[in-house]
Amino acid sequence: MKQIVVLISGRGSNMEAIVRAGLPAKIAAVISNRAGAAGLEFAVQAGIPTRVVDEREFPSREAFETALAEAIDRHSPDLIALAGFMRVLGGDFVRRYSGRMLNIHPSLLPAFPGLHTHRRALQEGVKLHGCTVHFVTPQVDHGPIVAQAAVPVLSGDTEGTLAARVLRQEHRIYPLAVRWFVEGRLAVDNGLVRVEGAETEQSVLAGP
């Protein structure tokens, strides 16, 4: 069975969605870069080994990433899923997990990489917004796109209402993308992701 390590920083609702999806894979560990991340509690209750590698305890990014890689590698994971992991990772770290690290980003990439995506979407007046699951590459929020879901931006939306609408879609497409990965259905060709099999159009449709 494929082994997955999930990295979180906070609430962990995407991690929870992946766990609850009942995928044909083992969630080997949930690792947080912040002590007290709320999501750790859910993982403990679900019987998943947890670990904190607190970035504030390390003198440099290199030292932190070395410790993080050690914590990950002890599980020999097939996949590392970044789920609300709010930390930019260095090129060496990213290359170590090339082709087996996914991230969820709350925008329709390549629009709005980086932070405050919902606020920026409202400021720009876009009519469609959404979320993206992508392979992680050294350029932040730019890797090959596995799945996207779009939602409308409605008049009267606030950052909060828009974020909530997008988050419902995150919880739908991230488990779907992880399922495709563990089923061995994803191929990356020249920076483009091909999904083997049917029903891949699910990835772009907003659900209820």
- Tell me the pairing of strands 145-152 and 128-135: antiparallel
- Residue 12 engages ligand GRF in binding (rule: CB under 6 A): yes
- Residue 145 engages ligand GRF in binding (rule: CB under 6 A): no
Question: Which residue in 2, 11, 26, 119 binds ligand GRF (CB under 6 A)?
Answer: 11
Query: What's the token pair of residue 104?
Result: 């969820």
- Residue 84 engages ligand GRF in binding (rule: CB under 6 A): yes
Contact 39, 8 (CB under 8 A): yes
CB of 120 to ligand GRF, least distance (A): 14
What one-character DSSP code corresponds to residue 38?
T
Q: Is 178 helix (H, G, I), strand (E, B) or coil?
A: helix
Question: Which residue in 18, 43, 81, 83 binds ligand GRF (CB under 6 A)?
Answer: 83
What one-character DSSP code corresponds to residue 153?
P
Active-site residue flag, 116: no
Of 64 and 174, nearer to ligand GRF (C-beta) is 174
Q: How far apart are the first and last CA of the chain?
A: 32
Of 54 and 66, nearer to ligand GRF (C-beta) is 54
Out of 75, 105, 118, 171, pick the active-site residue.
105
- Residue 141 engages ligand GRF in binding (rule: CB under 6 A): no
Contact 29, 5 (CB under 8 A): yes
Crossing angle of helices 117-124 and 159-182, in 10° steps, is 120
- Residue 175 engages ligand GRF in binding (rule: CB under 6 A): no
Q: Looking at 8-16, 72-80, 93-101, 193-201, which segment touches ligand GRF (CB under 6 A)?
A: 8-16
Q: Which of 9, 7, 8, 4 is nearest to 75 (CA)?
A: 4
CA distance 42 to 108: 28
Q: Which residue is nearest to ligand GRF (CB)?
A: 84
Q: Looking at 51-59, 101-109, 176-184, 197-205, which segment touches ligand GRF (CB under 6 A)?
A: 101-109
Query: What's the token pair of residue 84?
Result: 């609300």
Location of structure tokens 């709350």: 106
Of 19 and 25, nearer to ligand GRF (C-beta) is 19
- Which residues bind to ligand GRF, rule: CB under 6 A? 8, 10-14, 39, 83-84, 104-106, 167, 170
Catalytic residues: 105
